[in-house]
Structure 1
Amino acid sequence: MSRLEQIREAILSGDSGAVASIEPPSSYRGVTVHADEVEMFEGLASQEKDPRKSLHVDEVPTPELGPGEALIAVMASAINYNTVWTSIFEPLPTFKFLHRYGKLSPLAKRHDLPYHVVGSDAAGVVLRTGPGVHTWKPGDEVVAHCLNVELESPDGHNDTMLDSEQRIWGFETNFGGLAEIALVKANQLMPKPAHLTWEEAACPGLVNSTAYRQLVSRNGADMKQGDVVLIWGASGGLGSYATQYVLNGGGIPVCVVSSPAKAEICRGLGAELVIDRNAEGYKFWKDEYHQDPKEWQRFGARIRELTGGEDPDIVFEHPGRETFGASVYAARRGGTVVTCASTSGYLHQYDNRYLWMNLKRVIGSHFANYRESWEANRLIAKGLIHPTLSRTYRMDETGQAALDVHRNVHQGKVGVLCLAPEEGLGVRDEMTREAHLDRITLFRGA
């Protein structure tokens, strides 16, 4: 039996002592992109680029463990849009991030390789910790958030997201979570929610923390009770958590989706106000270069029809180019557009008159700091926010999983099994699980 098989068996048996006694293997399987393939999609439109061609499952060397770091045995991971970007080499190949990071120090040089092990979510078990780590020990069941910070400059000490050397693990660093073993900083680790399976626990990390900062935190929109919140892609990876936060916080979500099935998922979460943008035929762009303000007006009127005449206090933005002009228009006077991504394009256009003359604000929000991530994970552990896992793939099917996300044919989050041999494993608190099972499984099969 190989060391990885021994580790897996020890984890499945719940024997943390045995995990600590097994030496980590010298290599492991991980999902990678290759530096010599970055031009493979040259000349193709984004939607024609196929992650199945660029994502590989390779045997790679286990990285050296440095101070303040941990190696974790990854039982399950998940797909985020940054893995899609990595796989299609947009907006630029991530090897440029790794090369820049590698210049920082001899320890960071480990990340500058001709392959990139991707993935920014993970649930698993601590295998080893480096010098200076005292909070976590081998055998601890954990999830990992994706903020990698150095904190050697003063910039990040009020908010670690402002650190001058802040990076997203598995996107701007190597040795990510779509693998059998991952390398993290110890301050990325959080307790695994005991009532969830490995794959359920793996899927909230990035998107749950992002939605928390974007909506709940004072660093984001600082949502209050009664706020009307327009949520784009409300049944997707980010939007499904945003919808839950608005409902939990006493707000009023207006959920924008693209199909009747996605509308039903939002209603299953408890949302009552839903706009199916495809069914209602919204086309915010006349052509590649010109938007249609009349469509903004029709969209705003539809929102007011649903809310009893109120415009959104907050717009939860992440599609970017396709929707940003409509978002700025739709927000109420003095309202807030808070944006964390640009999945439909980075170059936004909007009519600034609606922003400046109506005293609206645009807030940029990027992932979350450790405290925000910890609070978001705590809400998962307490059964107040629930995972939105819809489907789980094997690690050798990661390319297909990424393609589903790339083409928006998924719901909620898409999980990936790494060391876990099958779904449904890892639950330690059956009572809490039973109390919330209908919400935990709401997205399954959607």
Structure 2
Amino acid sequence: MIDYRKNTIPVWTLATRDVRVPAFTGEKRMTAGRLAELRTVLAALADEPVATLEAHPLPERLDRARGIPLDAVSPLAQHLSQLVTESARSSSSAATIAGEGLYRMVVPAKFADALGRGLVRSMNSGEVAGGLRGPLVDATGRIVAGATFVPVGTVAAAGAAGGAGATAGVAVAGSAALTVAAPLVLMALAVGVSAHADTKRREAVARITELLEQLHEDKLEAEHSELDGCRDAIDKATAVLLDQGVIGASLGLDSAVHAINSALGAADRRLARWRSALDRLPDGEPVDIATLAKAFPGVDDDGGEFRAHLELASLAIALKQRVNVLQAVEHAQKDPDNLFENFTRALKRDQQRLDDMQSGIAGVLLRLSALEPARPQGLRPVFTTGEVERLMRAAHRIHQLAEAVPTYGRASDVAIEIARDKDGSVVVFPALPAES
């Protein structure tokens, strides 16, 4: 029996195909550090994605609104239920996890990075300056501290590409047993990445709403409304695909994609104008604030049209990322024998344009933040206190633009948390970089 009071956690090793790896452990139990080492070894030695899945007790407090809910008959929920049920029958280490729980899947960086580096990024912490929001944790703030992990033995797998009842098996090499559960890995990753992109969408919408309330710009308001109106079609298409259905014209996804692509086109044109304006500035010389504000309206203020354009670009990118995931899942389901390769190839191809746009915007922000504002022009040899304060505030706001530029560290393992209720329904939370 599992005694969660002693922090004993069952863990599966899941493969997307029949792969061969050397025996990785002869131990019955392992620490969190040992489990991290195991993931590193599996990623290095396996040619196909190998993920780990941990089963934790369900925390008392969970912000379920951050995730994407799926009912008990959805393929992902069925794959997970089948894995858990079969494990409970065949392994004493998994005997008490057939009900509710919090499942944490970690996909190694080697494979997660193939999905496009812009899809899953560390997100700034709202509580600690310079901190990062890690994976979903319990009310105490951590999920694996002090835990002992018990490998779950050979079990019937959670289904192959065709659905919950499709064929599956176990890949065994030496003493290593890997459950072949491609759909579970694929769908968990797809929903987690989609939830991550939707989190970025909600953040962008909140910032845009605040900016537009200050600007009273009808054209920007219309652009914002058209983009935000795409959410309904994307949500419905996501639900249909995750139920392994076919997206029809009645969902309105085609018009949503058109609106998103139009917004990305507008962002491309604005980016080109910003670059051109920066290229026209004299090298190494202070720049007059009025000249800068003409090319970048509101750059010296808390709001402004320039910042609204940045947020509209962020919103369009977040929505496009969700559409990219939909297209990748659709490709994978159409060709079940080439499941994960299709998924990663489709995501990587579509993500390249978004990466280029984000890199271009980051370059503009860094160039702007490095500019030195010039003193106000005038005949008076002495400036008023108000003029000096305005110049200092403008300089500070311009230099702060560098803080909005995302930084890329080494590739990180990607963690997806899945909360499973007693009725078999699940909530999949945003995919995030796994804690090291």
More helix as a share of residues: 2
Higher relative contact order (CA 8 A, sep 6+): 2
More strand as a share of residues: 1
Structure of greater Rg: 2
Q: Provide TM-score, normalisation by structure 2.
A: 0.29
